Structure 1
Amino acid sequence: MMNERAYEHTKYFVEECGIRVAGTESVIKGSDYILDYYKKNGIKTETHEFDVPVCEILKSQLKVREKGDWVSLNHTPALFSRSTKPGGVTLPLVYVEDGSVANLRSGDVKGKAVLICRDAYMVYPDIKMYKRLKEFDVAAVIYTSGEGHWDVPYVYANFETMDEDYTIPTAVIHSSTAKEIVLNNVSEVFLDIQFNVSLKKSRNTLGIIEGSKYPEQSVVVCAHLDSTVGSTGAVDDATGVAVVMELARYYQELANKGIQPDRTIRFIAWSGHECGIHGSKFYLLDHPHIFDNISFVLNFDGIGSVLSNYSAVGGCTPKIEAKLNEITRSLDLDWPIVMEPAVVDALNFAAKEIAHITLFAGVGCGCHTKYDTMDLVSAAGFNSPFIFSKAVIDWAVGEDKIEHGFPPELAEALKETSKMYGWGLFGLV
């Protein structure tokens, strides 16, 4: 029944709430649905409000000149990148492969737009690259999608640096379009990108089951409710929220039978994830006592798919990594537990070296596009995540002591990932 209920929750978020951009009413509608479900099942609830940046696309045109004619390209503007001047700009276009210094140096790119072959869904427009392009006086940048993406995904630059002089107009095109541009020696591009950015209220949504032995210590089980612009976010990440909801119900039913967790479990649906992991950031900053007493984080970001190839990515000590691998082996799950950075809400917890993992079903070719719909989701797809999650949560709430800390190389990699995008809490806590 958990699988079927998780499927129905996902369907509500996708079909009844629709596109759930943080700061809009559709997220609040989804939050209200979660709260109602928790209250009906006797689960203690809380909400946490915060300001979130909302980027409205007023206009977005991208054209290239081919054989004397201007041809419009299917594209997305990178949210929170710089608007062009009103009326747009016409620029020479230079292909610079992956945007390495060597390619930029040899490409005569000053005052021009550059085309960079880099999967913008996997590696968002980042501060490090913007600063590099600034050194070469590049005027605009166009990234590609991965070859397997079904459409051009929406991606985000950093809201907090959008007015810095190194942030330039940024667009994304499909890799197949980029291939045609290079093969046809296209050398001129027109961009007209206009944004309106405002701060609006959004909400994190919590269900809480108090611990019986260590109530001040928390295990966080979480996923993000919001979706990108242009996507109903079924796999990314309505399915994750659905799993969080059903796990909350499961552990509340155990508590009703007198089987309470030793530690408090906080089941959290974040908002503001897509635009810069804002929801988890502000929740932790606004609740320092809770932040200081979190023992473990289990995060979901892209699960419940019809087809899945699961892995868990995160940060912890070798001892905990070994324990998590022991859990997967005991369940006969051939899932790798990989210690490496991921740009997900767990990154905010990494600033205090809190043990965390994020469960992924594999890269979604429809994510951040109109194709992330219920067609990608099945009730059966929730089975393995539930089995794994129960085992991990049971261990995390009952373990006498869960050590914090990361190996030095991992700690540095997490810090550099946060610095690369300007996201996360490194340097703030």
Structure 2
Amino acid sequence: MARTFYVPRFRLVLFCIGTAGTLTAFYPDKLSFQKAFTRINKEVSEHSRAYETLANASQKVGHRLTGSPNGTRAEDYAFDLLSSYGFKEIRYEPFEVEAWMRDTVTLSVVPNKSDNYRDVPVVSLAHSPIEAHVQGEIVDVGNGLEGDFAAFKEKLKGKVALVNIGLAAPTKGARNLHRSEKTALAIQYGASGVIMVNLVPGNVLLTGTASVTGKLISIPSVCISLESGEALRSWMQEEHSPLHAQINMTNTSRKIRARNVVATLKGSKYPEEKIIVGGHLDSWDLATGAIDNGIGSFAVMDIARTFKALKLKPKRTIEFVLFMGEEQGLLGSKAMVEKLKKSGQLDKVRYMMNLDMTNDPTGLNAFGRTDMLPFLNTVGETMKQVEPVFANQMQNQAGLHSDHQPFMLEGVPVVGMNGHLAREVLDCYHANCDRINLVNVDQLKNTVRYSTMLLYALADADAIPTRRQTDTQTRDYLVTQGLRTPLQIANEWRWKE
């Protein structure tokens, strides 16, 4: 639960000999923001093009898989769209990526010493091997958390692990692991393959990466539907001998060059300071990725349009970034952070704001930075005054597995929007039903107008309370946020004991 702070509605001034200062330097100018927020609210409500352009791209481009011809078309579409909004400073930031693409996969299940094979509908998870032919006894590891794997540590070597992607009958306080982290644990315990069970009803097959690094993994990892998982587990209980799985797959992987797309709006007073707002443009190839992450990336571009349409000139520079390669391991954002580090520019990034499947925001998320709560509370209050339907529900919890992560691991402050999606929409995550019909026009418009208000506040404030953390501060922050264990599993914990 987020802590709340009382924000005074007056400005207290301290006078010293020859000097005037304020105790409230870190509190934003509510009146100034209210005027800007009112203009933003009107502009987006009446002229937003987020849904229109997303629908158009879904038809003209299709899926946006990094490394594919569609991915290249998506990059060009974003560049041209930002140009049409009046941006002159737009650039491609190329990076090299190992582009993984699925080819063939089959899964057959058979009792031990039997020829009663059953074929199970299946889809490969990304970064599985180029070729794999695995046969092994199936061991049901349940939810696939650390304790679940540890309980089978003597039984998994050379076997095929069966795990849930989500948490079935979750234990109170249990925190789910990403599918890549569960695969990493399976590899650690010597499994020869992984079968992930989707927990969404309706025979939905889910894809996504099973690699914590974005590189090829050593064992095949596949996904089956909830119904197939239930049938498989029932069969395991009926049989008096173990069931065996046969996984056969081929995939392709080759190095290509992908491109982040970056549009820059120069700051009027502190042009050397940057606020980065981004969303990943890429998607998986089973559908058009309208929700993941069309609603985020096309919201970013409509936020950029709004700044240009209103001729807003905030004090700090804003970079609007469309990341590629997020689905294959945060590759575009990692490349950007590495470039900023090498050029000595990372300290100039004052804040990173990420929109990934963000929809119909109800509040702001300070991402565990308590020093920002007074500032963000004031911004949220002002947003609610301008648009009373905004719930202004503050959160203060950090998370992983999107393009904010490389920035956060380097101590850059991160902020987010608390949104929500209907259950039937979430059920199509990374699946072949993630299409434009899932997108709610008004909710997408809300994402644009509320995110634009927050972005303007960060970019135009006289002062921002927080700065980039030191390495030690970053470590302590990640521990406090409960992120040490998943980062260790992912081999991204760089601090020694």
TM-score tier, shorter chain, comes to 0.7 to 0.9
Alignment of 1:16-415 (within 5 A): 16-43=60-87, 44-65=89-110, 68-83=115-130, 85=132, 88-99=133-144, 100-105=148-153, 108-119=155-166, 123-126=177-180, 129-130=182-183, 132-134=185-187, 136-147=189-200, 151-158=204-211, 160=213, 162=215, 167-185=218-236, 187-255=243-311, 259-288=312-341, 289-304=344-359, 313=365, 315-330=367-382, 331=384, 332-359=390-417, 360-362=419-421, 364-399=426-461, 400-404=463-467, 405=469, 410-412=477-479, 413-414=482-483
Residues 109/314 of structure 1: CA separation in 2 closer, same or farther (3 Å cut): same
- Gapped runs of 5+ residues in structure 2? 1-42, 168-175, 385-389
Distance 1:309 1:205 in 2: 25
Alignment check: 8 A CA contact 2:365 2:416 kept: yes
Deviations 1:141-189 (A, max 9, x none): 212223358612112122757567xx32211222332121111216121
Question: Quick one: distance in 2 between partners of 1:134 and 1:53?
Answer: 21
Counterpart contact for 2:300–2:448, Cα < 8 Å: no
Whether the aligned pair in 2 keeps the contact of 1:24 and 1:202 (CA below 8 Å) is no
Cα gap change, 1:294 to 1:151, in 2 (>3 Å): same
Which letter does structure 2 place at the counterpart of 1:403?
T
* Residues 370 and 396 in structure 2, CA contact (< 8 A), matched pair in contact too: no
What CA deviation, in whole Å up to 9, does each residue of 1:239-295 have, x standing for no partner? 21211111112212333xxx4110001011111110001111112212334422111
Q: Deviations over 1:116-135 (max 9, x none)?
A: 23329x743335x4564345
- Structure 1 residues 352 and 131: CA distance shift in structure 2, 3 A: closer
- Return the alpha-carbon distance in structure 2 between the equivalents of residues 36 and 379 of structure 1: 23
For residue 156 of structure 2, give the secondary structure of its aligned residue in structure 1. Answer: coil
Amino acid at match of 2:229: A
- Structure 1, 336-345 or 326-335: larger mean CA deviation: 326-335
| TM-aligned CA deviation for residue 348 of structure 1 | 0.9
**Deviation digits for residues 317-355 of structure 1, max 9, x if unmatched?**
202134334433442425442312121100011022222
Separation in 1, partners of 2:75, 2:300: 13
Kindly provide the amino acid, as one letter, of the partner of residue 109 in structure 1: L
Q: Percent identity?
A: 19
The verdict on how the C-alpha distance between 1:338 and 1:231 changes in structure 2, with shifts beyond 3 A counting, is farther
Contact 1:350 1:414 in 2 (8 A): no
| Residues 1:162 and 1:252: Cα distance change in structure 2 (over 3 Å) | closer
Determine if contact 2:361/2:447 at 8 Å carries over to the other structure.
no
RMSD: 2.8
8 Å Cα contact 1:233-1:372 kept in structure 2: yes
Per-residue deviation at 1:199? 0.9
Retained in 1: the 8 A contact 2:65–2:283?
Answer: yes
Task: Identify if the C-alpha distance between structure 1 residues 358 and 50 changes in structure 2 by more than 3 Å, giving closer, same or farther.
Answer: same
Would you say the 8 A contact 2:204–2:226 is kept in 1?
Answer: no
131 and 361 in structure 1: CA distance in 2 versus 1, 3 angstrom threshold: closer
Which sections of structure 1, spanning at least 5 residues, go unmatched? none
For the residue of structure 1 that corresponds to 2:380, the secondary structure is helix
TM-score (norm 2): 0.75
Using structure 1 for the length normalisation, give the TM-score: 0.86
3-state DSSP of counterpart to 1:126: helix
Between the two proteins, the alignment pairs up a number of residues equal to 413
Partner AA of 2:49 in structure 1:
R
1:33/1:2 CA distance change after superposition, 3 Å: farther
User: What is the one-letter code of the residue matched to 2:367?
Assistant: G
| Residues 31/426 of structure 1: CA separation in 2 closer, same or farther (3 Å cut) | farther
Moved over 6 A (4+): none
Distance in 2 between residues matched to 1:407 and 1:175, nearest whole Å: 39
Instruction: Flag the structure with larger Rg.
Output: 2
